[in-house]
A and B are shown apart, each in its own frame.
Chain A
Amino acid sequence: MGMSVGGGGVKAEPNVTPMIDVMLVLLIIFMITVPQINAGFTAVPPQGQNLKPHPEEDGDQVLGIDDQGRYYLNKRPIRNEDLETLVRDIYGQEREDYIMYVKAHKDLQYLKVVDALDVLSRGGVRVAALITEQAPGTESLVESDRIIGSGGGK
């Protein structure tokens, strides 16, 4: 219970209520956005130590494979048979890179992943970046990873 300093009821404190309003709104926006990013697709990627940072960019194509082996292209569920056609549509044309991100569930049979990789390779993907989480408390042993990682490649 702060007694206002000095007499006369002059308050030197700034009015923080609007700021709190803004903060709360921002907070709620972020809280909503975070789960939205992974909506409809739940895969726990495996953990690893020596990983290469790949900051997200707009043109990135992500293939998700959930624990049942179902495919998601950029988080939208697709039929597994359609993957090759869709991949070919994307990678059949001239592109800056031929890299596709693959976010697969860690407990999947490797068969399922290799099947997907084979399809990607037929569809024109050259590099498959297998999304992996940094194991807590570890740092990559590869020097170039650490430079990109800490240098803040956006």
Chain B
Amino acid sequence: MGMSAGGGASSLNNEINVTPMIDVLLVLLIIFMMIVPMSRKAIDTQLPDPNPQPVAPTVVPDQIVLEVLPDDKYAINKEPVEKAQVFARLKEIYDPRPEKIIFIKGDTTVKYEYVIWAMDQSRGAGVKVIGVPPKN
């Protein structure tokens, strides 16, 4: 069959096949629609009360303080803990413990990322409330 360009005969369909293009566009569109409202995620932290009651100095004896020290070192209630052990140690502490509260005290020179890592691990170990002590 000769593919004659002209001619009134309609046997030749010279439109571009757009179906694959539509497929691609739809997929792209869906991807972008998903990105826009992509649910934001965060770690909630309780900020200290700016006007502490005068009674405050009595430190509750059994509170847990996780310190993030320089050089990627960590300490739970002043007791040094290896980075790899932090999660296991926290889990050990919080599994039997009814108060799921932790204070995370980052050294001022450490990277924010490491503090977030510590908070992340604590949440994974079952901590519900994360407190951020104020800078001294």
Genuine A/B complex: yes
Kindly state the separation between the CA atoms of A4 and B10 in the bound complex, as whole angstroms: 8
Q: Say whether B109 faces chain A, with CB atoms less than 8 Å apart.
A: yes
Interchain CA distance A53-B38 in the complex, whole Å: 10
Whether A130 contacts B119 by the Cβ 8 Å rule is yes
Total contacts A to B, CB within 8 angstroms? 180
- Contact check, A54 vs B25: say whether CB atoms are below 8 A apart: no
Q: A109–B111 contact, CB under 8 A?
A: yes
Which residues of chain B in 94-136 are interfacial with respect to chain A, using CB atoms and an 8 Å cutoff? 106-117, 119-121, 123-124, 126, 132, 134-135
Q: Which residue on A lies nearest to B107, using beta carbons?
A: A110
Q: Are B10 and A9 in contact (CB under 8 A)?
A: yes
Size band of the A side of the interface? 35 or more
Q: How far is the CB of B86 from chain A (nearest CB, A)?
A: 13
Establish whether residues B36 and A33, one from each chain, have CB atoms under 8 Å apart when the complex forms: yes
Would B13 and A131 count as touching, CB distance under 8 A?
no
CB proximity of B116 to chain A, nearest CB, Å: 4
Min CB–CB distance A15 → chain B (angstroms)? 10
Contact between B32 and A31, CB atoms less than 8 A apart: yes
The reply on B43 being an interface residue by CB < 8 A is yes
In the complex, the answer to whether B108 meets A109 with C-beta atoms within 8 Å is yes
User: A105 — which chain B residues lie within 8 A by C-beta?
Assistant: 112
Is A147 interfacial (CB 8 A cutoff)?
no
Which of B42, B46, B106, B114 is close to A52, meaning CB atoms less than 8 Å apart? Answer: B42
Given A3-B11, A141-B124, check contact A51 B42 (CB 8 Å). Answer: yes
Specify the chain A residue showing the minimal Cβ separation from B43.
A130
Q: B115–A127 contact, CB under 8 A?
A: no
B11, B113, B134 pick with most chain A CB within 10 angstroms: B113
- Show 19 residue pairs from A and B whose CB-CB distance is below 8 angstroms, ordered by the A residue: A1-B17, A2-B13, A9-B11, A16-B18, A20-B25, A30-B33, A30-B36, A48-B120, A53-B40, A107-B111, A109-B111, A112-B112, A114-B134, A121-B50, A126-B47, A130-B42, A130-B44, A132-B41, A142-B126
7 tightest A-B CB contacts, nearest first: A9-B10, A30-B32, A48-B120, A129-B42, A111-B108, A121-B47, A51-B41
